[in-house]
Amino acid sequence: MQPADRLQNIHAMLAAGHRSVHLERSSLLLLGGVGGFLSVVTEWVITDTRFPELGDRALALLVWLVFWLGGASLLDYRLTRRAREIRGETLPFAQAQVTRAWWMLLSMGCLGSFAMFFYGGGSMIYALWIVLLGLGIYLFGLFSRPLIEWIGLATILLGVAGLAAGLSYGATRWLAASAFAIGLPLAAGLNARNLGVSLPGRAAVVLLWLMAVVLPALSMAGVHTEPPEAAAVGLGSSVADKGDQVLRLEPGTEVPLRLDLDSPILSTRSDVELPMTLNMPMEVALRDGEPDGRYRIGNGPWREIREGVLQLRIDRLSPRLEKGVPVVRTHARLDSLDLDGDLR
């Protein structure tokens, strides 16, 4: 054997030793299952009807996340050690350190979810979770197979691209669910088959992985709310106490905003209204005489108010003295993400 070949061998074994961290299949399946479950179910469990107070809702979410993710992490730790013992291997030092970093990332995700109740930014919480998941996988990948490293990078880019593309809250929620529930088990399968060893092969595998994650998420996000079957009636018509109805609001209709300000410093009269006028036609589904959360703008698709497409954002607050009277001026935007198609 030539010296160059010997050096090549040494290099390969040295790299194998450095990359001895093995992300177990059970880890990816367990975390994928729990992460996907939490992405889909959390919104149904932690609701404002079940926890009306903001503080209670934030605390309930924290307990919920810590219970599931903490339990999954402990179980994963035990399963990983057991898998290593069965194979007669010791846990590499790098794996122990990366696992700690992974727990830190999960803790940051939980605390970030909790803090967003008080400091805002909740609309990007699922994108944040995707980026944190990507960082965790990438960290493992640095000391494991390069394919895992690439999938980690692809996951980070997925979260960032979702935000940059202005995906709605609902769409990023499905993207997070897909990254966990489809992406991680798929990564486990690809890793077990030792795919993506060569550079072009790895690029192709990661591209397929991205498609497998993104397409189901976008198709779920594109599933529109079921339209109500009742015919639309105008505002002047009588609203039925029982059954389904659709109320059509024409442009120019007055829709006052009633502000319920919760503050120990300021208080408002309960009848304070901000007069607003509708600029475009809108239909609202009614059930037993009350809006049931479904609406559509123009001839667009029907949506649920909880999809988060409509967002009221107060971005400025400036106290002033106007003619000797103290006034607080605010600037707010009622944003409507993804409504381009609705307005055509």
* Residues binding another protein (CB under 8 A): 1-4, 6-7, 9-11, 13-20, 81, 84-85, 87-93
**Cα distances (angstroms) measured from residue 231 to each of 34, 188, 245, 299:** 42, 50, 7, 14
Q: Is 90 helix (H, G, I), strand (E, B) or coil?
A: coil
Which residue is it, tokens 């239909």?
Answer: 283
Instruction: State which residue, 80 or 172, has the beta carbon closest to another protein.
Output: 80
Question: Angle between the 169-178 and 125-142 helix axes, to the nearest 10 degrees?
Answer: 30
Residue 94 CB, shortest distance to another protein, in Å, is 8
Interior angle at CA 134, CA 132 and CA 138, nearest 5: 120
Tracing tokens 């088959």 back to the chain, one arrives at 193
**Is the Cβ of residue 149 or residue 307 nearer to another protein in the bound state?**
149
The nearest distance, CB 21 to another protein, in angstroms, is 10
19 or 296: whose CB is closer to another protein?
19
As measured in angstroms, the least distance from the Cβ of 22 to another protein is: 10
Supply the DSSP symbol for 254: B
Measured from the CB of residue 148, what is the shortest distance to another protein in angstroms? 17
Specify the residue, 13 or 272, whose C-beta has the smaller distance to another protein: 13
Tokens found for residue 309: 């497409």
User: Measured from the CB of residue 187, what is the shortest distance to another protein in angstroms?
Assistant: 22
As a whole number of Å, the CA-based R_g of the chain is 26
Q: What is the rounded CA–CA span in Å between residue 17 and residue 120?
A: 45
Q: Would you say 32 or 92 has its CB closer to another protein?
A: 92
230-238's contacts with Cβ under 8 Å and 24+ in sequence apart are: 230/285, 232/283
| Token digits of residue 327 | 């006034």
- Choose between 89 and 254: whose C-beta lies nearer to another protein: 89
- Residue 165 CB, nearest distance to another protein (Å)? 40
| Interatomic CA distance for residues 24 and 142, integer angstroms | 15
Cβ 102 to another protein shortest distance, Å? 18
Nearest in space to 179 (alpha carbons), one of 222, 120, 135, 145: 135
Tell me if residue 3 falls in helix, strand or coil.
helix
Closer Cβ to another protein, 16 or 165, answer by number: 16
